[in-house]
Structure 1
């Protein structure tokens, strides 16, 4: 990594939207908030807007990820819209090729396909997604290859993705361990790491990705993106108050009591014990909370530490205006997308 003086202003910034359903609201409200956020971050010069596939979670509305990508892409005009990610074990590769071939046909040059290896849900729900659980994760590399083949020009193939064939849909591999990093490197694909909830393997995964990278038609040199949580507000105090929503969400994950997105609270001390607090803080190690100066400094030191090519930001903020404002603050630090 030759250049250790990379500044935030030199790299693009993108958005991960978990399509949260706020307490007392519906999925429809969540989708309208997501579209509002997407239109705002497009105006602010963010590069991509990704949605994540989750299932059986009362607080996350993005289960039909490709349908939602179409809605967001249809309501914006330039920003790249994609999946962060589609969980490949849940789908036949042909279906994914057709869905993203359809999206790319409708919104040419704007669709990204990020692929994950986890089911994005619990075991029981994974079974309900009409798959057995034998060998799905192990067959991930073959499934990625099959999917890529559907996008290639295969006029003689017996099974073809229509639409999909011959379309250039950028494929990213997502990961929270060194497994996906190595596969992305070997295949010469861009790699996105989920440091917003799985911080432990970030540095080893980036190292493995860069060391195993082999140039491909898609990519001449490694391109790594890391996702982090950022909650920015006008003051550190206000940001810390807003961040209680994020901490509460993860506390509920740890307890196995998933709920809708909860409003901020004055203090968390009464809500968690020492071991819960420790677990949440470990999971959320790469969470940068504060006013503009605090957040800029923490993001810059993250960039210094990782030398990633792009940063993706998740902002779990309860109030949609405050969520938009968090991204407004962040936008000032980074290079603007040239649409």
Structure 2
């Protein structure tokens, strides 16, 4: 029998109706501490903006808070949306995380904005109709600078640092504080572009299977076939992200994911992403056939059911994509009588799968 894959957790820090951001963070803090105790490999948070349903806006700040009380799980971003930030700002935030947590930090980088175009401009200091321009007044697209900005971050995190020429001579620049163990940089993507870039730079790569559900096989093959060994990696390294929910029965598990189905439908239909609805009548009262059709187009890539059913689906996915690690995104929603500062169904998913995969508890 093949060895069971390692398990990790992706957390978007969902916010449900009536819940504050602080209460959502408290629920996620319980989740990461459980994952740390249960033997999960990584815990990553994402970057999204201007979305009432998502509290995860600044991975570095969140990880500094959520990582307190953990001792062995890797903490990372899934990911930092690099066009929204300067390379030095990103490098320094993750250098601080390394100073606090040692060699347990992952820096996942993506080139999508993680929000709508107007909010993305506002993040870069250009509200309204403002535009980013260079010294000559020409429009600048930070997405086009993505490869160079990755190279800048890698240099800033390295012992040698980065350097550039000035009128006064060569100027050296390091991410502060300097640390012995820099964050491990990963490239994230939902298309072949990032797969090719990661392969060319010799970096580890993760395709957004939990969000896309399509194109994973082609992207992973492109990455592996194109990989060039560099100082950042000698061989391809990747894992799979999967939406997952565990219930006492198959029917209960599918009931638990309906709030997520509704949210994904709203996102794809362009009706806005409000705070997450509750399991049961609250979500069923607003669910439309359009929302259900969106869900049906996606959920064959999800792992939903009893603990045994979900574990079997995850093992099949690991074998199909030839990966030794799976990162689950727990999508089980909350019931109306759940504690407002906890996420019992998400926590149950993490605990149940740890048992199915015989993870090493602390």
Q: Could you tell me which residue of structure 1 aligns to residue 288 of structure 2? A: 272
CA offsets, 1:80-127, max 9 Å, x none? Answer: 111000000000000001000011011101111000110000000001
Shift of 1:137: 1.3
**Distance between the aligned counterparts of 1:139 and 1:105, measured in 2?**
28
Task: Report whether the alignment pairs 1:80 with 2:105.
Answer: no
Q: Secondary structure at the match of 2:353?
A: helix
Q: Could you tell me which residue of structure 2 aligns to residue 237 of structure 1? A: 251
TM-score normalised by L of structure 1: 0.92
The structure-2 alpha-carbon separation of the partners of 1:156 and 1:100, relative to structure 1 and needing over 3 Å to count, comes to: closer
Task: Report whether the alignment pairs 1:43 with 2:37.
Answer: yes
Decide which moves more: 158-167 or 184-193: 158-167
Alignment match of 1:141 (pick from 133, 144, 147)? 147
TM-score normalised by L of structure 2: 0.86
**Distance between the aligned counterparts of 1:193 and 1:21, measured in 2?**
25
**Structure 2: gaps of 5 or more residues:** 126-131, 133-138, 164-170, 335-342
Q: How many residues align?
A: 332
CA offsets, 1:10-59, max 9 Å, x none? Answer: x2110000011111010000110010001111111100000000000001
Alignment match of 1:161 (pick from 157, 170, 175)? 175
Shift of 1:336: 3.0
Shift of 1:271: 2.1
Note if contact 1:38-1:49 (Cα within 8 Å) is conserved in structure 2. Answer: yes
Note if contact 1:53-1:64 (Cα within 8 Å) is conserved in structure 2. Answer: yes
Task: State the structure with more CA Rg.
Answer: 2
Alignment match of 2:303 (pick from 260, 284, 288)? 288
Shift of 1:165: 6.4
Shift of 1:269: 9.4
Note if contact 2:107-2:184 (Cα within 8 Å) is conserved in structure 1. Answer: yes
Question: Mapping of 1:1-339 within 5 angstroms?
Answer: 6-7=2-3, 9=4, 11-130=5-124, 132=132, 134-154=140-160, 157=163, 158=171, 159-164=173-178, 167-255=181-269, 256-265=271-280, 268=284, 271-273=287-289, 275-319=290-334, 320-334=343-357, 336=359
The structure-2 alpha-carbon separation of the partners of 1:98 and 1:50, relative to structure 1 and needing over 3 Å to count, comes to: same
Calculate the aligned-residue CA RMSD, in Å: 2.1
